[in-house]
Copies of this chain bind each other. A is one copy, B any other.
Amino acid sequence: MAGIRDVAEAAGVSVSTVSQVLTRKRPVAPATRARVEEAIARLGYRPHPGASQLRGGRTGTIALIVPSLTNPFYPLVGAGMQDVLLDRDILLTITEVGSGHRPGTTIHQLMSRRVDAMVAAPFGLTDEDLAALQGADIPFVLLGSPRGGAGDVVHTDDVAGSREITEHLIERGYRRIAFIGGDEDATPTQERLEGYSGALHAAGRDAEAADVVFADFTRQGGHRAASELLAREVRPDAIVAANDLIAIGALDAAREHGLSVPADLAITGYDDIEAASLVSPALTTIENPAREIGRACARLLLERLDADVTDVTRTVVLSHRLIIRESA
């Protein structure tokens, strides 16, 4: 494997000059540059990432930290990031940090030395984790609502989205509208709950505490929570689920209870993952543009890495959209 020294020798220049050609951190005479580039190509030279990193250079890697690989929303965000990273010879790394996996801090300390920049979904991370991430002093995008502090943010307006879908239910005449959240302390749960409560409140009815239950953001969680709701003496005629996976689980439960959707029970989702249009009845949901979110994150990061932006913190809010299908 050719090293920088081999290249320098082949091009008849010093090691420093080769490095300058690579990092573009100071001017190099065009003729010299050409000779070096030729040598690099001829020898198939590739910088050793560990060495550059050690000496203070970059790793050429950007990380995406997600709470789940099984929720297709997150891989799609990754695909969006790839869309913009591909031209730049930057590697995207996706890591799952499930709640209760390994101590968050550990992984973030690791990450902070292996990557040039990262985007993380805050959900599942503790405040300390977040502080560590932000303290890592590398470009950083938060995927989701701003939560205490620094860093760029890309998100959609979950409160508004949830309000809209709840209003849709109210307009359709549903009387007793329940809410199934994901993990209770997760920001998406909180915000979507807020939108739901807000819509009810604006319609002159208040959310009954009993009508709000929490699960986790999975199909199984939704199934469990919906089953509980449907087993009650007086049961809801509509369910606002905090994401599509939960809604699909609720659909499972409705089927088991012999309920027809949306006649006996309306169910709405959130995110519009591909499965939302595949289930029967197809889900009425809020489109959460995962791929676009990924693209926006990557662009923000690149701008920081290119030092086009320095101090200002940017918040990008992408639009959501109510998608009315069959389930409500």
A-to-B contact residues, CB < 8 Å: 44, 46, 48-54, 59-61, 69-70, 72, 74-76, 78-79, 82, 86, 89, 91-96, 98, 101-102, 106-107, 109-111, 113-114, 219, 248, 274-275, 278-280
Contact of A91 among B51, B95, B275 (CB under 8 A): B95
Question: Within 8 Å CB of A95, what residues of B?
Answer: 91-94
In the assembled complex, how far is the CB of residue A99 from the closest CB belonging to chain B, in whole angstroms?
A: 12
Copies in the complex: 2
Given contacts A69-B79, A78-B96, A91-B111, 5 further A-B contacts (CB under 8 A): A49-B53, A50-B52, A51-B54, A70-B75, A275-B278
* A15 vs chain B, min Cβ distance (A): 16
For the complex of A and B, the 8 pairs showing the least CB-CB separation, nearest first, are A280-B280, A50-B53, A93-B93, A50-B54, A69-B75, A94-B94, A50-B50, A69-B79
A49 near B46: Cβ-Cβ < 8 Å: no
Determine whether the beta carbon of B106 is less than 8 Å from that of A89: yes
Provide the residues of chain B in CB contact with A106, threshold 8 Å. 46, 89
Question: Are B279 and A46 in touch, CB under 8 angstroms?
Answer: no
Give the CA-CA distance A51 to B101 in the complex, in Å.
27
The closest CB in chain B to the CB of A102 belongs to B86
Determine which of B46, B69, B92 lies in contact with A96 in the assembled complex, contact meaning CB atoms within 8 Å. Answer: B92
Residues in B whose Cβ lies below 8 Å from that of A98 = 82
Give me 13 A-to-B residue pairs in the complex whose CB atoms sit less than 8 angstroms apart, sorted by A's number: A46-B110, A50-B54, A51-B54, A60-B110, A69-B76, A78-B94, A78-B96, A82-B96, A82-B98, A82-B101, A91-B114, A92-B95, A93-B93
